[in-house]
Homo-oligomer: A and B are copies of this chain.
Amino acid sequence: MSLPHAILTALLERPSSGLELTRRFDRSIGYFWSATHQQIYRELGKLEQGGLIEAVPQPPSRGQRKEYLVLPAGRSELTRWVGQAQDPKPIRDPLLLRLRAAAVVGTEGLDVELQRHLVEHRRQLDEYLEIEQRDFPAGGGSGGRSGGGDRLHHLVLKGGIALETFWVEWLVEAIADLGGERPERS
């Protein structure tokens, strides 16, 4: 049950309408928890019904913009969730699975896929690095200046950077390994 809490977080950072939230889920929050507009609208409905958020009073008609803000109940629910015990989710990755399958049925077409993934992960890594340079310039230590919020944001970003770095390095090794295998067969 992460989506409602992702939305609460986003709305606390800034009250928004559904469409604005959707856009913010295409970057920022969405970097580690993606969601489509359908999910978001549905969830906004549930959260409002549950009394965790509230639409700012406006004539609510169909094609009309609706802005939401978080109620105290929503904030305390989010606080509770942050400290709640949750087991780490096991890895669930189709690409690793495909390599395992390739060990049985052969690697045909796989090298192209690895290349594609490598390009994409490099792109994402660059994007993160740019954000880091923009939002957290120089200060490797982030040494105590500016509130804890920034420090946490940087920590999350560094998580993303390290993850993409892992993928890039692993893919480079995998591609080399796969390429080095061909000679056996020719």
Contact = CB atoms under 8 A, between A and B. Distances in A.
Interface string A150-161: 111101101110
A66 interface: no
Nearest to A11: B104
Given A34-B92, A96-B156, A104 B9 contact: yes
Interface in A82-101: 82-101
A100 B7 CA distance: 11
B170 A159 contact: yes
Copies in the complex: 2
A30 to B, nearest CB: 8
Nearest to A109: B83
A129 interface: no
Interface stretch (A53-61, A112-120, A130-138): A112-120
Contacts of A96: 32-33, 156, 159-160
A106 interface: yes
Contact of A9 (B2, B92, B97, B153): B97
A78 B120 CA distance: 24
A90 B184 contact: no
A166 B155 contact: no
7 nearest A-B pairs in the assembled complex, by CB-CB distance: A83-B109, A103-B152, A103-B149, A32-B96, A9-B101, A79-B105, A32-B91
24 contacts: A2-B94, A8-B101, A12-B104, A31-B91, A32-B93, A33-B92, A33-B97, A78-B104, A81-B98, A82-B106, A86-B113, A87-B120, A88-B120, A88-B121, A89-B93, A96-B156, A96-B159, A99-B159, A100-B152, A103-B152, A144-B184, A148-B181, A159-B170, A162-B166
